[in-house]
């Protein structure tokens, strides 16, 4: 298995969108064109992974987070990481549940401020939808 990781290029947008549409995930081409534009403007980094020259997934890092605690402290944030299921658990990235365990094993801990929905703190007994907007932010002290 040959793994290649490189920065997003504008011509990747359609390929990425199509790959996710094939598995029923709604990831429009425009999203990746916006990511490319933000990368060009140094607001975001987008890394794209290929296994044996086949698109496998991507991750994005936003240099200035919208999450209030990270924004105040200048902490960048991983905001979008998606790997096609057939490439998960193959040194590209794990699935969501396995990722939680992986982060803990690597020393990440909750920031202690609770969970957010669309970057707003969720209050006790507040009802929210469990989707990509619900986040428990994790941090790790770097040496």
Task: List CB contacts of 7: < 8 A, sequence separation 6 or more.
Answer: 39, 45, 46, 47, 48
Q: d(Cα 124, Cα 15) in Å, to the nearest integer?
A: 42
Count Cα atoms within 13 angstroms, Cβ side, for 48. 20
Ranges of each domain in the chain? 3-139
DSSP letter string, 40-54:
HTTSEEEEEEEETTE
Tokens matching residue 42: 């140094």
Judging by DSSP bridges, how do beta strands 77-83 and 54-62 pair with one another?
antiparallel
CATH number of 3-139: 3.40.630.30
Judging by DSSP bridges, how do beta strands 109-117 and 3-7 pair with one another?
unpaired
> Does pTM top 0.85 for this prediction?
yes
pLDDT tens digits for range 62-76 = 999 999 999 999 999
pLDDT tens digits for range 11-62 = 999 999 999 999 999 999 999 999 999 999 999 999 999 999 999 999 999 9
């Amino acid at each position: 298995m040959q793994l290649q990781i490189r920065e997003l290029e504008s011509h990747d947008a359609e390929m990425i969108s199509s790959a996710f549409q094939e598995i029923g995930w709604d990831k429009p081409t425009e999203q990746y064109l916006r990511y490319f534009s933000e990368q060009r403007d140094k607001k975001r980094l987008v890394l794209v992974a290929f296994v044996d020259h086949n698109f496998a997934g991507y991750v994005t890092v936003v240099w200035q987070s919208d999450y209030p605690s990270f924004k105040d402290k200048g902490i960048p944030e991983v905001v979008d990481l998606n790997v096609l299921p057939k490439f998960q658990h193959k040194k590209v990235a794990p699935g969501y549940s396995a990722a939680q365990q992986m982060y803990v094993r690597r020393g990440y801990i909750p920031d202690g401020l609770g969970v957010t929905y669309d970057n707003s703190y969720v209050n006790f007994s507040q009802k929210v939808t469990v989707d990509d907007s619900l986040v428990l932010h994790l941090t790790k002290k770097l040496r």
